[in-house]
Amino acid sequence: MCSGSHKKTPTLIQKMGISSLPPPSEGVLCVLLVNTAFSISIVKGIIRSILHIVGVHLSSSSSFSDSVENPSVSFDFGLNTCDSYIEEFRSRTPAIRFDTVCSCKRPEHDCSVCLSRFEPESEIKRLSCGHLFHKVCLEKWLNYWNFTCPLCRTPLLPEEEASCLL
C-alpha cells in the first residue's frame, strides 16, 4: 500500500450530505450581538417612555438613527409639531359671528363641511382664501391633521410660516 493513497473513511454526517453546515458554536457570537443590541434598544425605549410620562420631552435634535430605532420618538415629535401648527392657526384665525361678516338679511351661505346654513349667531372662521366654515367644523377638520382649506386646499398658514413650525 502506498502512503499517499490513504483515504479517510466518511463519517455519518458526511454520508447524510450535511457536512457543509458550520458547527453550532460559530453563530453564537452573532446571536449574542443581535440580542444585546435589541435589549439595549428596548431599555432605551422604556427610559424614553418613562421620561415622556414624567414630562421630559426630547429635543428635536434627535438623530435619524434614533427615529429609525424607535419610530414612536419621531411620531411624538410629529405630534408636537402638528399641535404647534394648529395652535398657531387658532391664534391667527379668531372665531367671529356670521352676522358681522354678512350683513344680508337672509343668509344664503352654507358650511361646506357640515352642509348646513350659517345662522346669524353662528361662530365661524374665515380662512385666508376667503372661505367660511363653522368654528366647530373647522376644528374637527384640524383634528384629522388637515392643514388646508376643505374646499380649495389652500394652506391654512402661508408656506414660509408653516415650514418654520413643521
pLDDT in tens, 45-54: 898 888 878 7
- The model's pTM: 0.46
What DSSP state is assigned to residue 40?
Answer: H
CATH class of segment(s) 62-166: alpha beta
Quote the CA–CA distance of 41 and 69 in Å, as a whole number.
7
pLDDT in tens, 89-148: 788 888 888 888 776 655 568 888 898 988 888 899 888 888 889 999 988 888 887 788
